[in-house]
């Protein structure tokens, strides 16, 4: 205990009175910075950010609406999140061994700070759900701020159109009993341990997106925080240059490894037709194409498919089940019922029309079954749709169009 107190006193006095930091840097100097993207070949987006011995590898993964994370807020209500960031701090990052367990207080707190800071620039109209995972490869202070920088790199590499890059840095403080104080930029782990403050601030070029103040003092003057914010901003600008030199803006398209997604809009009255009896239609589409479909009450249909070809096939099937009959259009329909006066033909899923016996051919037809029977397919043209939605069909008109 005595040795620890002597070390603490020596470190603090060297910083405060001699302005000598443990790693030899100046008071406002940053550790060496580096940034890389696209390191892993298969994932949707990756970013590796390093500040001195602190290194964070962040992986961004794109998913569909069903991949949103649900959580209970203070009121007990479920509120799904389209963007979330998970932070992992394995033992090897500080040269130790130990059991790999569930997330602890550190993982939850640091991940929450990084997530809130980056979420401010996440586009709400982006159709994908995005999960970022920050793996701390090596640690010597400010791993949460490295996670913010790495998440920015990974999101831009994945093609997520964030409104602005976000970076973060931590400032420290050393004081004595006389009121003398010194603000440190980019503190290492030992300076965090022996110092009086850990002030993490994240932001873009437009402003601050998140911050957290950890104090060992009973209080701190406002003007000290103001000076710390100014010092922090200067450091963030330098980090921003490193990040934007690595990747200036989000990629124009999402990663080719990412699933393809789009949102189509259908008539809300057609939702039942798309789902089908007992979910028959929607199940057929998802199972045959190995895709995900999410339907909202307003008629918005989100599609998540493996590639563009599958996406186009899903859209074609949705159009088929939700299409509405158009006057003048020719259809190939299934004869559902035969009557003396004509036949009822299903031209679209759930949409039948009457093919009157007088519209079956350009000559007199004595018996409907001479032209078609139940289960037959016939080519017909929609000639009229009345106000109640009843459809009138003509095989004669369809044949005339085909002869032209």
Q: What is the CATH architecture of 2-246?
A: 2-Layer Sandwich (3.30)
Bridge partners, 63 (sequence order) = 129
pLDDT score for 67: 85
pLDDT digits (tens, 9 = 90+) for 266-308: 989 889 889 988 999 999 999 999 999 999 999 999 899 988 8
Please identify, in words, the CATH class of the domain defined by 330-403. Answer: mainly beta
Give residues with Cβ within 8 angstroms of 235, minimum separation 6.
28, 30, 169, 171, 185, 186
Enumerate residue ranges in the chain where pLDDT < 50. none
Give the separation between CA 199 and CA 213, rounded to whole angstroms: 5
Name the token pair of 19: 């302005």
At the fourth CATH level, which superfamily is domain 260-322?
Answer: K Homology domain, type 1 (3.30.1370.10)
Give the separation between CA 53 and CA 359, rounded to whole angstroms: 83
pLDDT score for 48: 98
Task: Tell me the CA end-to-end span of the chain in Å, nearest whole number.
Answer: 100
pLDDT score for 33: 97
Same fold, 2-246 and 330-403: no
pLDDT score for 41: 87
pLDDT score for 76: 66
pLDDT score for 350: 78
Domain residue ranges in the chain: 2-246, 260-322, 330-403
> Got the DSSP string for 179-247?
S-EEEEES--HHHHHHSSEEEEEEE-SS-EEEEEEEESSS---HHHHHHHHHHHHHHHHHHHHHHHHH-
Among positive and negative, which fits the CA dihedral 82, 154, 103, 214? Answer: negative
DSSP class of residue 26? -
pLDDT score for 283: 94
């Amino acid at each position: 205990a005595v040795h620890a107190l002597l070390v603490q006193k020596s470190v603090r006095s060297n910083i405060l009175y001699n302005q000598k930091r443990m790693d030899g840097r100046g008071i406002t100097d940053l550790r060496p910075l580096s940034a890389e993207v696209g390191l892993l070949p298969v994932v949707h987006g990756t970013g590796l950010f390093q500040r001195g011995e602190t290194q964070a590898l962040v992986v961004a993964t794109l998913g569909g609406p069903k991949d949103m994370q649900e959580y209970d807020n203070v009121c007990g209500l479920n509120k799904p999140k389209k963007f979330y960031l998970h932070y992992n701090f394995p033992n090897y990052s500080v040269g130790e061994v130990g059991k790999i367990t569930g997330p602890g207080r550190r993982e939850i707190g640091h991940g929450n700070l990084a997530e809130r800071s980056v979420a401010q620039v996440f586009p709400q109209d982006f159709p994908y759900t995005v999960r970022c995972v920050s793996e701390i490869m090596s640690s010597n202070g400010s791993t949460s701020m490295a996670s913010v920088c790495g998440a920015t790199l990974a999101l831009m590499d994945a093609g997520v159109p964030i409104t602005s890059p976000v970076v973060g840095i931590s400032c420290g403080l050393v004081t004595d009993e006389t009121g003398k104080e010194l603000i440190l930029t980019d503190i290492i782990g030992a300076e965090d341990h022996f110092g009086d403050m850990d002030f993490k601030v994240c932001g873009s070029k437009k402003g601050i997106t998140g911050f957290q103040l950890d104090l060992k003092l009973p209080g701190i003057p406002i003007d000290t925080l103001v000076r710390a914010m100014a010092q922090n901003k200067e450091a963030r600008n330098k980090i921003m240059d490193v990040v934007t030199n690595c990747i200036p803006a989000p990629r124009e398209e999402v990663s080719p490894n990412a699933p393809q997604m789009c949102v189509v809009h259908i008539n809300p009255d057609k939702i039942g037709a798309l789902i089908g009896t007992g979910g028959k239609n929607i199940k057929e589409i998802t199972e045959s194409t190995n895709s995900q479909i999410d339907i909202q009450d307003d008629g918005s249909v989100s599609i998540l498919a493996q590639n563009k070809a599958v996406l186009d096939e899903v859209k074609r099937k949705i159009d088929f089940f939700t299409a509405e009959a158009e006057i003048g259009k020719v259809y190939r329909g299934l004869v559902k019922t035969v009557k003396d006066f004509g036949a009822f033909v299903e031209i679209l899923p759930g949409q039948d029309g009457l093919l009157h016996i007088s519209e079956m051919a350009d000559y007199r037809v004595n018996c409907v079954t001479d032209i078609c029977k139940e289960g037959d397919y016939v080519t017909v043209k929609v000639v009229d749709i009345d106000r109640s939605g009843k459809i009138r069909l003509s095989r004669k008109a369809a044949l005339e169009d085909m002869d032209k």
